[in-house]
Homo-oligomer: A and B are copies of this chain.
């Protein structure tokens, strides 16, 4: 009887007879410490997991009950399930052997910032709902704008300013809406179907999605061809021709999304020249530097965003390669009123003196959602706890490792580099024995699958001018030279096996 009671007490540590105490400080402390240890231990053993989860679709349904428990379970039971059931289904983005897509940086500073944000758990939609959340965001984004040497127009002191969005998709959406509504205020709402958006065909699918959401006619989302002749960059001449052509046909060009570091191959569009086209045609000029923006805090890479002074908006994801845990996508605009005019609502239940007097920024009007977390804390902590010089060194180290990998690939005549490396992404492929493109694509597809199913490394792929291309992006915070070398060894080994298999089978 005593045992049962003790067991009962342990199980219901969260629920006392007097009612649930879900925010008891000592329970939070005790269990918070346990969770810190769980996470630290995870990072100690992270290399033991297959990087890419090897589970089959539907694996978890069989392992978990059909419904929520009526009575509380213990934290130990949750930890046990995390180990046995959840972690096998995790693809380990923080593994030093994660080279797929683009990185999603975690860091101690970013993690501490996330903890603090979750701990305070404020909802900062208007200034008054936590002035520090709005003001720290403005200040820290000014800091970052200065680091990137963005023109003063993007700073909060004038008509511009920065805002943290969840993702680059949301960033491009909100500026597309701002641009859409700006032009519709001039030409009238019924002209929506005439509005035209431009980008290269290397532009992230987020642009197309933003167009879908914003009601842009699908045929008016024009993705202009960019190929190896321009290093997959958008040609200003091509843009200029398209714009003229569309104007002649009675359409209304209003938005360009240019890239600094495309998702496929880190191509960089020529901002300065594109800016001339947008300027003379009254087109909103957005720069998507989601990935490569981080590198531009290093003076030697800053030139990639030369011409940003012509842009209306600029976006980089601090959660990709700047040690700020997901999500933290930073957007700067020159004309914050354009955002506010497209996205503001002013319900009576949120009215307050500071907002009514126009003395403050209410970030709810710069984004799609109403509520928002205190995300500037983590970026602030990353900048302070690491300092600018360390952050620059961090970026440079990854670029150096990618360069070394590129050299390894170049030294193996069975492989080729498919697109020039600019940052820390290497695009490469296995050359087929008998230069047949279809076969080459199958071969590289097979190589990708074989490499990733080892669990030792995770890389991803893209298509460049129809070529199935492997992508290895250095950028996980734990990645060191040995991991890059080991990844190359796995790729070489699996390539040898594949080539010899196909050679033996005589397939070509």
Query: Which one of B104, B166, B348 lies within 8 Å of A166 (CB-CB)?
Result: B166
Contact string, A86-129, partner B, CB cutoff 8 A, digits 1/0?
11111111100000010011111111101110111111000111
Q: Tell me, yes or no, whether A417 is within 8 Å of chain B by CB.
A: no
Query: Which one of B119, B132, B213 lies within 8 Å of A86 (CB-CB)?
Result: B132
Give the chain B neighbours of A350 by CB distance below 8 A.
Answer: 205
Report whether over half of chain A's contact residues are helix, strand or loop; otherwise say mixed: helix
Query: A376 — nearest CB in chain B belongs to which residue?
Result: B86
8 nearest CB pairs, A to B: A89-B132, A215-B215, A114-B118, A29-B40, A32-B36, A39-B119, A22-B107, A205-B345
Question: Within the complex, what minimum Cβ distance (angstroms) separates A19 from chain B?
Answer: 6
A15 to B383, CA, bound (A): 12
Q: Tell me, yes or no, whether A410 is within 8 Å of chain B by CB.
A: no
Contact sample, A vs B, 13 pairs, CB 8 Å cutoff? A15-B393, A32-B115, A39-B115, A42-B119, A61-B139, A88-B132, A90-B122, A101-B123, A105-B121, A114-B114, A167-B371, A212-B342, A349-B462
Q: 16 new A-B pairs (CB below 8 Å) besides A57-B354, A69-B387, A72-B387? A: A12-B390, A15-B389, A31-B108, A32-B111, A35-B119, A36-B36, A60-B135, A72-B386, A73-B387, A74-B385, A77-B384, A82-B116, A87-B132, A105-B121, A263-B349, A349-B462
**Interface pair A14/B109, CB less than 8 Å apart:** yes
Give the chain B neighbours of A66 by CB distance below 8 A.
Answer: 142-143, 146
A480 to B68, CA, bound (A): 27
Q: Tell me, yes or no, whether A20 is within 8 Å of chain B by CB.
A: yes
**Interface pair A15/B369, CB less than 8 Å apart:** no
A74 to B42, CA, bound (A): 25
**Interface pair B106/A143, CB less than 8 Å apart:** no
A263 to B116, CA, bound (A): 28
Q: Tell me, yes or no, whether A266 is within 8 Å of chain B by CB.
A: no
Query: A319 — nearest CB in chain B belongs to which residue?
Result: B371
**Interface pair B388/A70, CB less than 8 Å apart:** yes
Give the chain B neighbours of A74 by CB distance below 8 A.
Answer: 385
Give the chain B neighbours of A64 by CB distance below 8 A.
Answer: 136, 139
Question: Within the complex, what minimum Cβ distance (angstroms) separates A41 from chain B?
Answer: 7
Q: Tell me, yes or no, whether A477 is within 8 Å of chain B by CB.
A: yes
Question: Within the complex, what minimum Cβ distance (angstroms) separates A140 from chain B?
Answer: 8
**Interface pair A106/B386, CB less than 8 Å apart:** no
Interface residues of A in 255-270 (CB under 8 A from B): 263-264
A263 to B119, CA, bound (A): 25
A61 to B111, CA, bound (A): 25
**Interface pair B36/A94, CB less than 8 Å apart:** no
**Interface pair A471/B349, CB less than 8 Å apart:** yes
**Interface pair A14/B386, CB less than 8 Å apart:** yes
**Interface pair B121/A94, CB less than 8 Å apart:** yes
Query: Which one of B28, B88, B349, B461 lies within 8 Å of A349 (CB-CB)?
Result: B461
Contact string, A138-161, partner B, CB cutoff 8 A, digits 1/0?
111011101100000000000000
Interface residues of A in 379-408 (CB under 8 A from B): 381, 383-391, 393-394, 397
A85 to B136, CA, bound (A): 10
Q: Tell me, yes or no, whether A497 is within 8 Å of chain B by CB.
A: no
A144 to B104, CA, bound (A): 30
Q: Tell me, yes or no, whether A463 is within 8 Å of chain B by CB.
A: yes
B-contacting 9-mer, from A186-194, A300-308, A488-496: A186-194
**Interface pair A115/B112, CB less than 8 Å apart:** no
A457 to B354, CA, bound (A): 19
B-contacting 9-mer, from A246-254, A275-283, A322-330: A322-330
Query: Which one of B94, B114, B132, B326 lies within 8 Å of A23 (CB-CB)?
Result: B94
**Interface pair A37/B29, CB less than 8 Å apart:** yes
Interface centre among A75, A93, A132, A193 (most CB of B within 10 A): A132
Q: Tell me, yes or no, whether A52 is within 8 Å of chain B by CB.
A: yes
A500 to B104, CA, bound (A): 60
Give the chain B neighbours of A349 by CB distance below 8 A.
Answer: 101, 263-264, 460-462, 471
**Interface pair B477/A23, CB less than 8 Å apart:** yes
Q: Tell me, yes or no, whether A204 is within 8 Å of chain B by CB.
A: yes
Give the chain B neighbours of A128 by CB distance below 8 A.
Answer: 52-53, 91
